[in-house]
Amino acid sequence: MGTRIAALIPAAALLLASAPVEARPDAAAALLEDARAFGLETGIAIPMVVAVSTPPTDGISVEEGLVNYDYAEMVDKMEGMSRTVIGRNKKKRKISTGVTPADRVDRGEIKYIVLHASGGATGKPGSCDGSVSWLLKQKTAAHFMVCRDGRVIRMVKIENIANHVKNGAIDAASVGIETESGHPEKKEPFLADDWNPAKYWRMYASMAWLVRAIAKETNLPRDRAHVITHEESDRGMRDAHTDPGPFFNGAAYTDFDARFPGQAVTPREYLMRLVADDTPPQIWLVSAASDPDVVEIKDTNELGLAHIRVWKLDAAGKPKDLMYEWSAPVAGMPTTIQKAAIAQEPGSYRVVARDLVGNTSAALVRVPEGGAAPTLAAAPVSSPESVLRE
């Protein structure tokens, strides 16, 4: 099978050919990342149809909600998310049990993704890695661990069977994802704070990215019938597990209520909205008589923006100077609208915006000589392919 899934790269790093992420200087990496996003490097482009919504503000001087989005690879380069690159994890299982070699991807045998609580939510540094180390020594196994800080650690290749649920039929046909949640040492092992979106939105984003990547590799529908919980897989069985717990399925959070009033959004609903999101950010140019012109970036699905960059281009149309950079802060749910001022100096500027699951839009802003109003045009977006399993 060909390599079809974009590997996850740390936020400040770029896909520079096949060189290791750690070996690339941040500045050069960032420059080439956006060069690729701007279509200045050859990549695999997957056409997408994007619905254009009503502009959120007055003063739009170009087409309403001008958007360009040419690929659907799950490459999420959020600042500060030092995730393990899938396929390069150095951790190895200490025992051979818990994993059955198979060829499930090529045979089309993966029918479910099962979400778990690892029981590693101690709040202490290294607790997620501790859960991984513990799992690698057990007769049970899971394919991935997603940490609160957004890291994704692969423990078992998805083509192999990992013993992660009691239901043998589901076990043989599923990919297991552990999350840094759950407290088995407590009388009540599930806590509402484990799924607090203001604290752990990076875990949500990484879970969604991973589910999307697996679904793409295995042609699995991205819905609740195929993305299930450990509790659902074990339901009706003796000593059935109940994770990820009641708060994942039904808890209310003030941040969700403020973002989605009247919709009763739960952690599971928010995750599935991220999983299903194929709409990139929209970019507008907003002109004002008394203020500098700005580009306004909006996530119309209200799920959250991750990263924005504005580059000034040189005479050849290549990124030269980074004029503006913004990344979603660690604390608090990521905003859905962000503005960036456009320099008054004549020239061409590239704007690249990404949402929480890597949907990306790019635009070209031209500031003419003589004080004339800037113009906005779509810019190509492309992404090189990389690997989920190797």
CATH of the domain at 109: 3.40.80.10
Burial 363-379 (b: 16+ CB within 10 A, else e): bbbebeeeeeebebebb
The residue from 220, 246, 275 where one domain ends is: 275
Nearest CA to 206 among 306, 130, 297?
Answer: 306
Number of domains in the chain: 2
**What is the C-alpha to C-alpha distance for residues 356 and 330, in angstroms, rounded to an integer?**
13
- 383 half-sphere exposure, CB direction, 13 A CA radius: 28
What is the rounded radius of gyration, in angstroms, for the C-alpha atoms of the chain?
22
Is the Cβ–Cβ distance between 346 and 367 less than 8 Å?
Answer: yes
Are 228 and 122 members of one domain?
yes
Are 47 and 120 members of one domain?
no
Is the Cβ–Cβ distance between 85 and 24 less than 8 Å?
Answer: no
Q: What is the pLDDT along the chain (390 residues), one digit of tens a residue?
A: 333 332 222 222 222 222 222 333 343 344 334 434 433 332 222 223 222 233 333 332 333 333 322 222 333 322 222 333 333 334 555 555 688 889 998 899 999 999 999 876 666 656 788 888 888 777 888 888 888 888 888 788 888 899 999 999 999 999 999 999 988 777 778 899 999 999 999 999 989 988 988 888 889 999 999 999 999 999 999 988 999 999 999 999 999 999 999 999 999 999 999 999 988 898 888 876 556 778 899 999 999 999 899 999 999 988 899 999 999 999 999 999 999 988 889 999 999 888 998 888 888 899 999 878 888 887 766 543 332 332
In a domain, 349, yes or no: yes
The residue from 275, 292, 319 where one domain ends is: 275
Nearest CA to 216 among 6, 383, 360, 8?
Answer: 6
pLDDT of residue 294: 86
Is the Cβ–Cβ distance between 250 and 136 less than 8 Å?
Answer: no
Are 169 and 268 members of one domain?
yes
Residue 119 domain boundaries: 99-275
Extract the tokens encoding 131: 């859960």
In a domain, 292, yes or no: yes
**What is the C-alpha to C-alpha distance for residues 356 and 278, in angstroms, rounded to an integer?**
11
**What is the C-alpha to C-alpha distance for residues 390 and 87, in angstroms, rounded to an integer?**
6
In a domain, 89, yes or no: no
**What is the C-alpha to C-alpha distance for residues 303 and 164, in angstroms, rounded to an integer?**
30
In a domain, 31, yes or no: yes
- What lies within 8 Å, CB to CB, of 290 at 6+ separation is none
pLDDT of residue 70: 26
pLDDT of residue 259: 97
- 66 half-sphere exposure, CB direction, 13 A CA radius: 21
**Could you tell me if residue 173 is left (phi over 0), alpha (psi between -120 and 50 degrees) or otherwise beta?**
alpha
pLDDT of residue 109: 96
Are 124 and 140 members of one domain?
yes
The residue from 275, 293, 324 where one domain ends is: 275
- Whether residue 380 is preceded by a cis peptide bond, meaning omega within 30 degrees of 0, is no
pLDDT of residue 300: 92
**In angstroms, how far is the first alpha carbon of the chain from the final one?**
10
Q: How far is CA 85 from the centre of its chain?
A: 13
Note the maximum CA span of the chain: 77
Are 122 and 237 members of one domain?
yes
pLDDT of residue 217: 84
In a domain, 245, yes or no: yes
**What is the C-alpha to C-alpha distance for residues 264 and 257, in angstroms, rounded to an integer?**
7
Nearest CA to 309 among 379, 209, 387, 238?
Answer: 379
Is the Cβ–Cβ distance between 251 and 192 less than 8 Å?
Answer: yes
Residue 54, burial from CB neighbour count under 10 angstroms (0-12, 13-18, 19+): exposed
- What lies within 8 Å, CB to CB, of 380 at 6+ separation is 38, 39, 45, 68, 70, 362
